[in-house]
Structure 1
Amino acid sequence: MIKMVDANDQQAVRNLDNIVQLHEVMINQRKPAEAVEKFLDPGYIQHDPLLSTGSAGLSGFFDKLLKDRPHARWVGHRAIAVNDYVWIHSNFLNLFNDDPDDTGIAGADIFKMDAEGRAIEHWEVLQVVGTPENSAPWFAPDLPAANTNGLF
């Protein structure tokens, strides 16, 4: 993973590490309640309309999802931290299917952090990761990619 952070800004370094660990523990280690308790403020504000606001909303969503998706995993690609904000570019694999060839869902997440290094607010943009032959499988099936750059 590429991490961009001023090494002299210990708060930003801690915030970036906490958001990476949030994803690692919540999804890859399959411990959403533990991750949320450690890395989110209980009053966490969620802007994703699929999830309830509050830390319990995120924990409950992933707890339920991971029970049905044994192959679900998270791969972080890029993370940037500045002051109270962390941006992370990730691939979420097998969240909504068990296909061994799943290309995943690319996420660009923004977290606002508190003084203790816990997330207090979250925004995201998600995009299905297609293939060269089927670049947008959910909303424009069989549309070939216009370039070979990929999402990551």
Structure 2
Amino acid sequence: MNRDHVLHVINTIYEKVFNEGRADLYPAFVSGPYIQHNPLFPNGLDGILGYIKQAGRIPCEVKRVAIDGDLAFVHVRYLEWAGQETAGVDIFRFDADGKVVEHWDVLQPVPAASQNANTMF
């Protein structure tokens, strides 16, 4: 798997698909069967694509990316996810052709106050 290609796919998903609301671009980066581990969405492209289309723009900032073999880990600041700022980690598994075939995510609302001076990002 080509690391530069994976970074291009990730950058396009977050900058174009999410930040600009270009849901139409997402299918080009996915190969089926698309396995979804978020319990709110079914397997396959239709569920997540429908959500992205309905949401329109999903403003976010990618804070860091790590790639390990066929997995990419993306630490994201979602500026407004379900009505509030949210810290997220998306994990994508890529096939040999550089397409997303599996997705996991972990989402945590950013609290108004913290017990330390560190940020979640």
TM-score with structure 1 setting the length: 0.73
State whether structure 2 residue 87 is matched by structure 1 residue 106. yes
Kindly indicate which of the two structures has a greater share of residues assigned to strand: 2
State whether structure 2 residue 109 is matched by structure 1 residue 128. yes
1:33 is displaced (CA, Å) by 2.6
Secondary structure of 1:94's match? strand
Question: CA separation in 2, counterparts of 1:53 and 1:33?
Answer: 18
Secondary structure of 2:2's match? helix
Q: Which residue of 2 is the match for residue 24 of structure 1?
A: 15
Displaced runs of 4 or more, over 4 A: none
Question: CA separation in 1, counterparts of 2:107 and 2:37?
Answer: 13
- Residue deviations 1:63-114 (CA, integer Å, cap 9, x gap): 1122xxx6x40110000112211000001122322xxxx5x11111111001
State whether structure 2 residue 121 is matched by structure 1 residue 147. no
Greater RCO between the two (CA within 8 Å, min separation 6)?
2
Larger radius of gyration: 1
User: 1:112, 1:122 within 8 Å by CA — same for their partners in 2?
Assistant: yes
Question: CA separation in 1, counterparts of 2:88 and 2:44?
Answer: 20
Question: CA separation in 2, counterparts of 1:119 and 1:73?
Answer: 21
Give the number of equivalent residue pairs: 121
User: 1:88, 1:110 within 8 Å by CA — same for their partners in 2?
Assistant: yes
Q: Which residue of 2 is the match for residue 46 of structure 1?
A: 36
Secondary structure of 1:111's match? strand
2:64 is aligned, of 78, 90, 93, to: 78
